[in-house]
Amino acid sequence: MTYCVAMCLADGLVFASDSRTNAGFDQISTFRKMHVFEQPGERELVLLSAGNLATSQSVISLLEKRLSAAPGSILGTSSMFEAAELIGKTMREVIHRDNPNGAINHVDFSCSMILGGQIRGEQHRLFNIYPEGNFIEATKETPYFQIGESKYGKPILDRVISYTTSLERGYQCALISFDSTMKSNLSVGMPLDVAIYRRDSLKPCFNDRVTDQSRYFQALRQQWHIGIQALCNDLEPPQLN
């Protein structure tokens, strides 16, 4: 399994992904699920992936291999929309390569991706690309997307994240959302990759690799855990008569 979350906020974009992959409980590995395509001053694109690792790795490899192609390069797209189209098309190509005609039906070849970033001349944008290669875009009403094991970490996002949330708050909430998820699901695991893009900068993201030893993450998860207990202590007690 995997857990990835990305937010499209007024001030920019926040991305976070775990790095655990597993094929059964006894085949566990660490793979980075965040990939960046960048041209400073021109574009900054961040791609998060979940699902079949063979599929998502092939999609990334093909996108990288074709960077210098005339048409078909993700660096040649003139909008985030076109970039999402290209990624969706590449996903369908890989799945068709590995499972033509859908003949093998006992293996799930599918993957999901989140694409966010900015291309010069456009706003910063965020897309959720489905396994079928089609996609939806985040809006002010729905400013974040999750892929993978999303349920445990959703309540904190729903309670805190809105379009006007700051990048710092978005980063904190993403880390808390991961902490809640990792407590409940062994298939989501450290280290985490975090990227934060400031709108209109067209510069490489702020990047962080968060491990169990990261001082800030340790402090945050402890502050949160203690804070939740304190919040419970302050709640009005029920009358059980």
Site residues for a copy of itself per CB under 8 A: 151-156, 158-160, 167-169, 171-173, 180, 183-184, 196, 206, 216, 219-220, 223-225, 227-229, 231-232, 234-241
Strands (E) located in 96-156: 111-119, 125-129, 135-137, 144-148
Cα separation, 140 vs 165, in Å, equals 11
What are the backbone angles phi and psi of residue 162, rounded to the nearest 5°?
-135, 175
Nearest residue (CB) to a copy of itself, 88 versus 117? 117
CB of 237 to a copy of itself, least distance (A): 5
CB of 202 to a copy of itself, least distance (A): 17
Q: How many residues does the chain have?
A: 241
Which H helix or E strand runs over 208? Answer: strand 206-210
Task: Report the chain's C-alpha Rg in angstroms.
Answer: 19
Angle between helices 53-65 and 80-98 (to 10 degrees): 120
CB of 18 to a copy of itself, least distance (A): 16
CB of 86 to a copy of itself, least distance (A): 30
Query: How many helices, marked H, and strands, marked E, lie in the chain?
Result: 5, 12
Nearest residue (CB) to a copy of itself, 30 versus 218? 218
Nearest residue (CB) to a copy of itself, 70 versus 235? 235
Q: Are 84 and 115 in contact (CB under 8 A)?
A: yes
Nearest residue (CB) to a copy of itself, 48 versus 174? 174
Nearest residue (CB) to a copy of itself, 79 versus 229? 229
CB of 51 to a copy of itself, least distance (A): 18
Q: Locate tokens 């291999």: which residue?
A: 65
Nearest residue (CB) to a copy of itself, 141 versus 234? 234
CB of 153 to a copy of itself, least distance (A): 8
Give the residue among 141, 139, 85 at the shortest CA–CA distance from 113: 85
Give the residue among 126, 128, 123 at the shortest CA–CA distance from 91: 128
Cα separation, 13 vs 167, in Å, equals 7
CB of 93 to a copy of itself, least distance (A): 33
Q: Please state the separation of Cα 188 from the chain's center in Å.
A: 13
Nearest residue (CB) to a copy of itself, 136 versus 228? 228
